[in-house]
A and B are shown apart, each in its own frame.
Chain A
Amino acid sequence: MNKQNKIVNHIKSYAVTYLFIALSIFFIVVSGLDLNYVASQLLLRLNRNAFIVLALIIPIVAGMGINFSITIGAMAAQIGLLLTISWGVTGLPGILLAGAITLPLASLFGFLIGKLLNKMKGQETIGSLILGYFANGAYQLLFLFIFGTFIPLSDKVTIVGASGVQNTLNLTGSVGLYKALDGILQIPFSMIAYIIAGVVAVLSVVLFVRKKLTTQKLVLAIVGAALVVCVLQIPFVSGLFSGAGGRQMIRVPVVTWLLIACLCVFNTLIMRTRLGQKFRAVGQSQTVANAAGINVDKTRVIAIVISTVLAGWGQIVFMQSDGIGTFQTYAAHEQVGLYAGAAILVGGASIDRATNLQALVGTFLFHSLFITAQSAASNLFGDSAVGEYFRAFLSYGVIAIALVIYAWRGAKKTKTGGLDLTKVEKN
């Protein structure tokens, strides 16, 4: 009975995820795309987008909903990138410089966002969305009229004979920022899989010997690792990743993956610190947190600052990654919040809880649909434009559904017919 309940609950809270898994499989089949192509695109996009999606977790835990103002973090990163290109710093130093510029800028912006969101508690999701739009105006002002006229930049990025920054900046060639992280060390996918399996097996044995792991879990870990190795021996599977038969050899950019892994570890570790406990306390109930002596407003500001800075770095990871190559100066940040928000919700996160795994799974599923939607729609309806629109619908729709489910649950909980009594103020 108890177990059955658990399963029902699990399916209930992950309904969106299972729906998307089904949709993904359906789309991959219908699209008729080569699996090798899908796999390579998926890995590429996972490595491009995971960092930004992971940046959303802390504000969710702190009870601030989906932080759509991560677009502002992306803007900070783009200012950093612009200056880096203008100063002509290339390669890894260039990326590091851009990251270094992003840090103070994004912290400042994050601080301001946090202050503002504290004035609209309960409306953070919409507030951060509109704040993103507002900041976009300021960003356009900065790039169109202030850069190049008041802040001197090199000819490489400005338009000669007019004010403002060029529409598109190239990151390849002499600019040297393209694949500055991705290109450092690239290892075939199967090799990475073997290494991870090996590490997991060795680590679990070590932990078992130190008596930090039960026998059951040890067996599970070793069997899992062995399974991965075995599956990779199947010619069909290994064919997917190796370059056999004129297909593309799938390689993994190790440095970027390490960065993503570090962020996952950071997200986990910070929850174990005092600050992390504060985040969770504030997220569960601001009144209780306040009574426990936690400075609620300050905690929320810190959460947003961290998220904004991480999103900025995520945008740098995105811009340098394989297959981008150009920097759309005025538009690169626009869809960042939408896609990241949709991705984390697809992974089963909700407005008030999220984990690393959900973020990664969500990115994976969301982008698998993204890759296949066009071909699938063109096969189903005879029109590839439908696929484009379907992608937009997915992004917005999944956010709408998540918001509705969350509000529905909240309304059921209060049992006042959904009327939130505290909302009715005296004015």
Chain B
Amino acid sequence: MEEKPAVAHEAVDHGAQPVHHHHSHAATSRHGHGHHLLTVEDLSVSFLMYDEEAAAMRAQGDSRADRGRLGRYLHAPQREVEVIRSLSLSVHEGEIVAVVGASGSGKTLLADAVLGLFEPNALVRGRIWFDGRPMDAAALAAERGRGIALVPQSVASLDPLMRVGRQVEGMPRGRGAARRADAGRRRARRRELFARYGLAEEVARLYPHELSGGMARRVLLCCALMDAPKLIIADEPTPGLDLPLAQAALADFRAFADDGGGVMLITHDIELALTVADRVAVFRDGTVVEETSVAAFASPDTLAHPFTRQLWHALPEHGFVVTTEGSPLC
């Protein structure tokens, strides 16, 4: 993607040149090695679904959707439903990008697409680069849990029947002696992470249902950090946590970003996003309508898209004003 030499690009002053690559940059945005950590371009995700309208048409004797006598019995008419369309998004090294959108608007599908987790009936198109490499489905699958890690929303994402320690450690790789060595390495890494996040060693012996909210949050984070990923995708990590816990969670993401990682924070809570993120990608109707720095939220004049401005007006400190068409988030 980059025409310029990498070093020259790294030297770009984001303060003086805030808008390039179709998005505004924050002061912390770094093009490490001259590229984005994650670039998503023109992503669309659609599903093949049974078409009830065509079926009804056919039942009424309309032959337009017909495939002939035999086909009628063997094929139900299907249509493609696009859930994410021409979405573009970038995550730089050292920054948190908050993907803000209403609950149920398909944000999790974006996470699935970046993780290469697709439903069998999903059609995914677009281009994804991770750490400067163009990715296909197999490459994304290879980075799952290694280069790109997911922090899920709740303890429901842990196996209820397996002790927390073993789950954080994950499945050892290899065979025989190599497998035992890997298991030992993983145990050591898990101990180190538990110590860093203030989890007692006994927690490893607990089952998920025995964890408190605060412990669960840190356990999920430790799962994600096991293989030292470069990018963390946090899917709604804060709902269900009280404010101090939510702030602690966000502080941990901040620390990860400050150490040179990238975080894609998927959330419906724009207020919380503005307190911790460097940039905000506003998600609506299956696409990112505006990708801008948090600083731009200082005034509606620096926001480009009408929907983002509506969001701004709907914030509590701006008086909860709900303007014209389209409902604000939450």
- Same complex: no
Chain A residues with a Cβ under 8 A of chain B = none
